Amino acid sequence: MGINCFLFLPLLFILVLNFFLDIATAQVAGFVSLDCGGQSNFTDNLGLEWTPDNQIVYGITSNISVTNETRQQYQTVRYFPADNRKYCYTINVKSRTRYLLRTTFLYGNFDNNNVYPKFDISMGPTRWATIVISDANTIESQELIFLASGSTVSVCLSNATTGQPFISTLELRPFNGSIYLTPYENQYFLSVSARINFGAENEDPVRYPDDPFDRIWQSDMLKKANYLVDVATGTDRVSTKLPIDIGKDEQPPQKVMQTAVVGRNGNLTYRMNLDGFPAFGWAYTYFAEIEDLAANETRKFRLILPGMPEISKAVVNIQENAQGTHRLYEPGFENISLPFVLSFRFGKTSDSTQGPLVNAIEINKYLKIDDGSFDGDVAASLVSSYESYDWAKEGGDPCLPVAWSWLVCNTDREPKIISVKLSGMNLTGPIPSDLTKLTSLEQLWLDGNALTGPIPDFTGCPNLKIIHLENNQLSGNIPSSLAELPNLSQLYLQNNLLTGDVPTSLLNKNLVLNYTGNANLRKGGSEGGHYRKIIIGLTVGAVALFLGFITSCILLRQRKKYPKTELKHRMPVMSNAATEAAQSFTLSELRYATKNFEKKVGSGGFGTVYYGKLNDGKEIAVKLLENNNVYQGKKEFANEVTLLSRIHHRNLVQFLGFCQEEGMDILVYEFMHNGTLKEHLYGPMARERGINWIKRLEIAEESAKGIEYLHTGCVPSIIHRDLKTSNILLDKNMKAKVSDFGLSKLAVDGTSHVSSIVRGTLGYLDPEYYISNRLTDKSDIYSFGVILLELISGQEAISNVNFGINCRNIVQWAKMHIESGDIQGIIDPVLGNEYDIQSMWKIAEKALMCVQPHGNMRPSMSEVIKEIQDAILIERGVQAAARERSSDELSRHSTLNMGSLDLCANDQDLMIDESFSRPGPR
């Protein structure tokens, strides 16, 4: 790959060499490491290849010397005049690729002035940061994560308020995954604020080669002002040498995940300043259980941010969320408002035996991308035809943050070019037609070049006041259209090769006009060669003409605007962005895996599911979504799918990826070998190998945990909306996982279900939601109550025959029996006598609570879980007792010591430990 590095001094002084370096052989996969002010290539001791910017003979290089900084790239700087220009590096990038961009600045008193510089850096038109040097020996650094939308990016220095702008290094690192994908990435950069490695071994950051993307994971031991202060007592540093399963993508490197801090007293607290905040930001935490917890130990905790109680609803249980130890779990906030001074705390829940643990965090600020100049495209096209000219290489946006040296722009939010001054620039060839597209142009200076050909039609620039075309080799007639420019007041055409008559309309116009020195030009009667001034009053005709132009100018501007905005919308959106997010599968890959959708393993409200096997042997379930048209625009689909891929819980079916081709929307999930709970409760399979009561309870507990996670573990919480036995799937080991979560959000309208607004499945549908159309997590509780009744009875939710006359609904039927004390009347005959009546009653009563007509009377998922767990304890107690006393004559009911079980235990799961609501040690 080649890089192009441009920097400019005022044109008079400079001679620019455009340089292309072939660094493909030398560099780590697309890394660009520019040693600004350096003289030669070198490889540093991390293995990074540095390239000097010394092919640029402008800007001034200086050697510096800073104690304790031996790295070669910090022995030099490149600096620029403190004028009102911008100085840009333009670097080739791969379009549609996400990059990390890092600039660093080590002053080192390069100018022997001891004046600490202060200046701005920008990324294209977007103001990125103000660099404030406050110490000659400290490296200032700025990082940005962006999605390249074109083939180059420009980093510019400008607006020095003190000292001279300078730069030490410029580094570009491509990403190849999606963790930095956000729904906003076409409008916002991510400006890196904090990337912290907790429990670090020493003060050194972790970076390349430990991090293949060369992110700098700052040590939590680093000493700097307002950085990780207010640490709670009892904070311990822990580490492991065992490998950490960090998955693919750009997850934090293993070395970062192998260390952590643990709050032995139940709390981890920190305070730090967040550069650039308050703002909306992207904040992620990275956890991996690296301590060996005994079987009876738990580590559950919450994040607590002052004034943000919502945040504390989610409980982290690393092992459970990550599905094991030494595995990464990375919950976070895609968009959260954070203050400049951030205090945060992780606090253990009251039922957790261990304090919180955190391995790493990352906080980025959303930086709005500036749309750039109104005339950006035209200007880009103009300079592209003069690639070898210095003035065409200034780089960045024509007007922002400051204009190219030969342009003047107005101060609109999307600035427009109002003056072009290219006098004496050795221009040849015709007058560039792009100039006639600058709709707000007022002054055009092209004098003193070697331009040839005719004068073009400038009616596209109705604001033109002053035109300098003198001292060129222009030929042809003077176009009469020039007279149609309503504001034209000065027109200089002398010393060209123009021919024909000077149009009388021009001669009759109120303007300064000079056309001397055109040997073959006839001047319409009056003697030529002299400066002419013709002043006429405004006539009715002129007014009409003027109005005519105003109109055409408005039309013209509108037309101009369209292609531009269209382009911007089209470019970024979906195809790449989404495919990067969740893994994307190609249709042919899925056709192959499913043998062209041969084996149908299920169908449901959202589509048909096929069995598949990937090349690596992994079995998958491929869901072809029905009714393509009901899914929102591609972009929304992609965003939703991205969100889906970020929900992980051991009791939720794992989402693997998606495919959107040939008008088909396809989702790919892990394959669940034992099918749906529904199949196990009814039908042929149930008869052969029906599941016993304790297994049913375990399935209930597992699926309830999955649902609880959707309700409380996600912010914002997710309501499933379509819970039913066919959405509870069983894996190889008969562990239950909930499927189809998050899907109802995808559908806009008119799916196969109930009505166009209320969604769900008949028999499971919360009547309150049905009537009020107000959806809450209590609607899921209702559906889960129905599932519990099915587990007890082995009856389907709706039946025309099984519930007697006038009753088609399991809820009515079960309620009638249970309330009259006849629980035996509803118990699945398949269960025989293999259950304890106490546990059966517990579940039956809870199920009735769940199907209460009003949501506020129904329990929360965690209460339901507690009840199921109690029922399981009863069953296990019974089983154990049965084993112990297998020879005993006693009936199992009398062996059970009910007193040892607190049947009405308060659920403390959802209450924050008292100690968290008190201010922590500061």
Ligand X SMILES: *[C@@H]1O[C@H](CO)[C@@H](O)[C@H](O)[C@H]1NC(C)=O
Catalytic sites, residue numbers: 722
User: Minimum Å distance from CB 716 to ligand X?
Assistant: 11
Going by C-alpha positions, the residue among 704, 736, 697, 701 that lies closest to residue 836 is: 697
Q: How many residues does the chain have?
A: 922
The token pair at 111 is 């100018």
What phi and psi values does residue 255 have, to the nearest 5 degrees? -60, -35
Question: What is the distance between the alpha carbons of residues 366 and 363, in angstroms, rounded to a whole number?
Answer: 10
User: Minimum Å distance from CB 820 to ligand X?
Assistant: 52
Instruction: List the one residue from 110, 188, 284, 782 that touches ligand X (CB under 6 A).
Output: 188
Question: What is the distance between the alpha carbons of residues 365 and 673, in angstroms, rounded to a whole number?
Answer: 43
Nearer to ligand X, 209 or 424 (CB): 424
What three-state secondary structure class fits 666?
strand
Going by C-alpha positions, the residue among 546, 511, 503, 550 that lies closest to residue 532 is: 511
User: Minimum Å distance from CB 812 to ligand X?
Assistant: 43
CA 94 to chain centre: 18
Question: What is the distance between the alpha carbons of residues 554 and 304, in angstroms, rounded to a whole number?
Answer: 55
User: Minimum Å distance from CB 872 to ligand X?
Assistant: 42
Nearer to ligand X, 366 or 671 (CB): 366
Going by C-alpha positions, the residue among 25, 9, 29 that lies closest to residue 97 is: 29
Instruction: List the one residue from 67, 68, 202, 426 that touches ligand X (CB under 6 A).
Output: 426
Q: Does 105 bind ligand X (CB under 6 A)?
A: no
Going by C-alpha positions, the residue among 297, 93, 63 that lies closest to residue 166 is: 63
Applying the rule CB under 6 A, the residues between 713 and 732 that interact with ligand X are none
Nearer to ligand X, 42 or 386 (CB): 386
User: Minimum Å distance from CB 348 to ligand X?
Assistant: 30
Q: Around Cβ 547, how many Cβ atoms within 10 Å?
A: 11
Nearer to ligand X, 11 or 630 (CB): 11
Q: Does 58 bind ligand X (CB under 6 A)?
A: no
User: Minimum Å distance from CB 334 to ligand X?
Assistant: 8
Applying the rule CB under 6 A, the residues between 265 and 284 that interact with ligand X are 280
User: Minimum Å distance from CB 420 to ligand X?
Assistant: 15
What three-state secondary structure class fits 718?
coil
User: Minimum Å distance from CB 578 to ligand X?
Assistant: 18
User: Minimum Å distance from CB 100 to ligand X?
Assistant: 19
Question: What is the distance between the alpha carbons of residues 304 and 358, in angstroms, rounded to a whole number?
Answer: 14
Q: Around Cβ 129, how many Cβ atoms within 10 Å?
A: 18
Q: Does 425 bind ligand X (CB under 6 A)?
A: yes
CA 314 to chain centre: 21
What three-state secondary structure class fits 515?
coil
The token pair at 129 is 């940061």
Question: What is the distance between the alpha carbons of residues 854 and 858, in angstroms, rounded to a whole number?
Answer: 7
Q: Does 19 bind ligand X (CB under 6 A)?
A: no
The answer to whether residues 86 and 158 touch, using CB atoms and an 8 Å cutoff, is: yes
Applying the rule CB under 6 A, the residues between 807 and 836 that interact with ligand X are none
Q: Which amino acid is at 61?
A: T
Q: Around Cβ 428, how many Cβ atoms within 10 Å?
A: 11
Nearer to ligand X, 390 or 626 (CB): 390
Q: Residues binding ligand X: what is the number (CB under 6 A)?
A: 7
Q: Around Cβ 609, how many Cβ atoms within 10 Å?
A: 21
Q: Around Cβ 637, how many Cβ atoms within 10 Å?
A: 19
Nearer to ligand X, 116 or 184 (CB): 184
Q: Which amino acid is at 269?
A: T
What phi and psi values does residue 871 have, to the nearest 5 degrees? -65, -40
Q: Does 287 bind ligand X (CB under 6 A)?
A: no
User: Minimum Å distance from CB 426 to ligand X?
Assistant: 4
Nearer to ligand X, 268 or 369 (CB): 369
The answer to whether residues 827 and 790 touch, using CB atoms and an 8 Å cutoff, is: no
User: Minimum Å distance from CB 427 to ligand X?
Assistant: 10
Q: Which amino acid is at 276?
A: G
Nearer to ligand X, 184 or 386 (CB): 184
Q: What angle do CA 669, 680, 609 make, to 5 degrees?
A: 30
Nearer to ligand X, 436 or 471 (CB): 471
Q: What angle do CA 631, 637, 641 make, to 5 degrees?
A: 125
Burial group, residue 389, by CB count within 10 angstroms (0-12, 13-18, 19+):
middle
User: Minimum Å distance from CB 870 to ligand X?
Assistant: 41
Question: What is the distance between the alpha carbons of residues 787 and 61, in angstroms, rounded to a whole number?
Answer: 74
What H or E segment, with its residue span, contains residue 893?
Answer: helix 892-895
Q: Does 166 bind ligand X (CB under 6 A)?
A: no
What three-state secondary structure class fits 819?
helix
Nearer to ligand X, 425 or 871 (CB): 425
E strands, 720-763, are 728-730, 736-738
Report cis status (omega within 30 of 0) of the bond before 454.
Answer: no
Q: Does 227 bind ligand X (CB under 6 A)?
A: no
- State the residue for tokens 């909930």: 738
Nearer to ligand X, 41 or 186 (CB): 186
Nearer to ligand X, 280 or 770 (CB): 280
Residue nearest to ligand X (CB): 280
Q: Does 335 bind ligand X (CB under 6 A)?
A: yes
Instruction: List the one residue from 198, 270, 366, 406 that touches ligand X (CB under 6 A).
Output: 366
Q: DSSP of 213-259, one letter per residue?
A: T---BEETT---TTSSBSPPTTEEEEE--S--B--STTPPPHHHHTE
Nearer to ligand X, 447 or 796 (CB): 447
Q: What angle do CA 765, 767, 770 make, to 5 degrees?
A: 80
Q: Does 184 bind ligand X (CB under 6 A)?
A: yes
User: Minimum Å distance from CB 281 to ligand X?
Assistant: 8
Among left, alpha and beta (phi > 0; psi -120 to 50; other), residue 682 is: beta
Site residues (vs ligand X, CB under 6 A): 184, 188, 280, 335, 366, 425-426
